[in-house]
Amino acid sequence: MRASGAEQVEEAVADCVAALAAVREWEGVRAGRLEWDCRATAVHIASDLIAYAGQLAGRAQDAYVPFEITPDDGTDNAGLLTVIGTTGTLLAAAIRTTPRAVRAFHPYPFRHANREGFAAMGVAEVLLHTHDITEGLGVRYEPPTELASFVLTRIFPHVRPGPTPWQTLLWATGRGDLPGREPVGQWRWSNNPVLRSERLDLEGVTPATVADLSTGGDGGYEWVGSAPADGTRVGAGLMVKQYEEGTFHPEWTMYVLVRREDDLALGAMGFHRAPDGDGRVEIGYDLVEGARGHGYATEALRALSAWALAQDGARTVTAVIDRANVPSQNVVTRAGFTRVTENAGEYAGEYVYEIRR
């Protein structure tokens, strides 16, 4: 899994231009359920594409780069499509030339996104607003399934998959209905979170990442020792199941531990699920063999458990460790956890550690 998203942006833009090139009259026609007319919506597509390219190219960290695009007076519909094609090319180029670890400003929900996030947002803007324009003009439009899936599995992790990716995306953005689900009024996509410790970036996974990891892929990372540990793949499989059930939480998920000095992934750490009604949340972790013995697990555990205990609804972080796994017991102890009990019955031989707010 090494797709940066550039090819998806190019494909979405080409699909948009082909769909709209067959339509002659845009002027004064309202774009579907939007307040804009079709021309203004087309300008908006180009504006978003160039804005995202600017964020990545400028490595913006605190706000949007202060510029905008305005078509020349007299630009006709064919000219607008040229602008969309050009700005799409610029975003794809920015994605291709941006290193994997770089994140630039985007206001929600975590005030940053990586190149794949900007690609997914760009594709979403193109697909959805092409739909708005064609809906206003009474023209049927349906993009390639893979593009809708690309968007959903990157920036809509909280949305349970539906009958088809395109139907699901339309429903998730208030543009359609799905059987058995209430209509969506307000909505917002979600880029993945990233936490920082002294030496590591803890990168929250997306459904696309865990799907790849669970089936033997690299998740889009270069790993110490060339591959993730078995426990990481097992944890990824659990996250895939949560996504399919609609219980995937972008923050209460698995985090890949990436060493900043060389951008190598060395393990994963994360929560089994969101905190329960008593404010308890269980954490687990796994490092590749070549990264053990350097304090990375302890460092990451301190950072992630401290973050968790600062969130509303979380009061206790627990870790369940096999009695024979002394190195892991040492990790949680150094991170501030205390052993509180030993499991019995089916889970006999496991110690339960916890740290409280």
Residue 348 pLDDT exceeds 80: no
CA distance 56 to 112: 11
Residue 345 pLDDT exceeds 60: no
How far CA 179 is from CA of 167, 247, 288, in Å, comes to 10, 19, 43
Q: 221 and 168, same structural domain? A: no
CA distance 36 to 133: 10
Cβ atoms of residues 252 and 34 within 8 Å: no
| Domain finish residue from 172, 202, 224 | 172
Tokens (6 digits) for 133? 């324009």
Query: Residue 251 gets which letter from DSSP?
Result: S
Q: 269 and 336, same structural domain? A: yes
Q: 341 and 210, same structural domain? A: yes
Residue 314 pLDDT exceeds 80: yes
Q: 160 and 24, same structural domain? A: yes
Q: 145 and 229, same structural domain? A: no
Q: Tell me: the pLDDT tens digits for 187-221?
A: 999 999 999 999 999 999 999 999 999 999 999 99
> By percentage, how much of the chain surpasses pLDDT 90?
94
Length of the chain: 357
* Segment 111-115 long-range contacts (CB within 8 Å, at least 24 positions apart): 112/61, 112/191, 112/194, 113/191, 114/191, 114/192, 115/4, 115/5, 115/56
Residue 92: Cβ-neighbour burial (10 angstroms; 0-12, 13-18, 19+): buried
Q: Domain containing 57 — which CATH number?
A: 1.20.120.450
Question: In sequence order, which residues have a C-beta less than 8 Å from that of residue 107 and are 6 or more positions away?
Answer: none
Q: How confident is the model at residue 23 (pLDDT cuts 50, 70, 90)?
A: confident
| Domain finish residue from 138, 172, 206 | 172
Residue 8 pLDDT exceeds 90: yes
Question: Edge-to-edge strands of the sheet including 280-287?
Answer: 194-196, 200-204, 254-259, 264-271, 280-287, 316-322, 350-356, 338-342
> How high is the mean pLDDT of the chain?
95
CA distance 34 to 323: 59
How far CA 310 is from CA of 173, 224, 304, 317, 334, in Å, comes to 31, 31, 10, 11, 20
The 10 Å CB-count burial string (b at 16+, else e) for 252-279 is: bbbbbbbbeeeebbbbbbbbbbbbeeeb
Q: 150 and 76, same structural domain? A: yes
Most confident among 12-26, 262-276, 343-357 (mean pLDDT): 262-276
Residue 187 lies in a domain: no
Number of domains in the chain: 2
| Domain finish residue from 140, 172, 204 | 172
How far CA 147 is from CA of 24, 124, 142, 164, in Å, comes to 26, 9, 10, 12
Q: 246 and 118, same structural domain? A: no
Residue 301: Cβ-neighbour burial (10 angstroms; 0-12, 13-18, 19+): buried
Q: 136 and 43, same structural domain? A: yes
Q: 162 and 13, same structural domain? A: yes
CA distance 280 to 263: 32
Residue 120 lies in a domain: yes
Residue 182 lies in a domain: no
Residue 185 lies in a domain: no
Q: At what angle do helices 207-214 and 230-245 cross, to 10 degrees?
A: 130
Q: 213 and 148, same structural domain? A: no
CA distance 353 to 342: 9
Residue 1 lies in a domain: no
The pLDDT value recorded for residue 25 is: 81
DSSP 93-126: HHHHTS-TT-EE---SSSS-EEHHHHHHHHHHHH
Q: 239 and 201, same structural domain? A: yes
Listed residue (82, 92, 95, 7) closest to 42, CA to CA: 82
The pLDDT value recorded for residue 26 is: 83
* Structural domain containing residue 154: 6-172
Q: For the chain, give percent helix, strand, coil, nearest 5.
A: 45, 15, 40
Cβ atoms of residues 175 and 190 within 8 Å: no
Q: 201 and 64, same structural domain? A: no
Q: Domain containing 229 — which CATH number?
A: 3.40.630.30
Residue 98 pLDDT exceeds 60: yes
Query: Residue 30 gets which letter from DSSP?
Result: B
Helix (H, G, I), strand (E, B) or coil at 191: coil
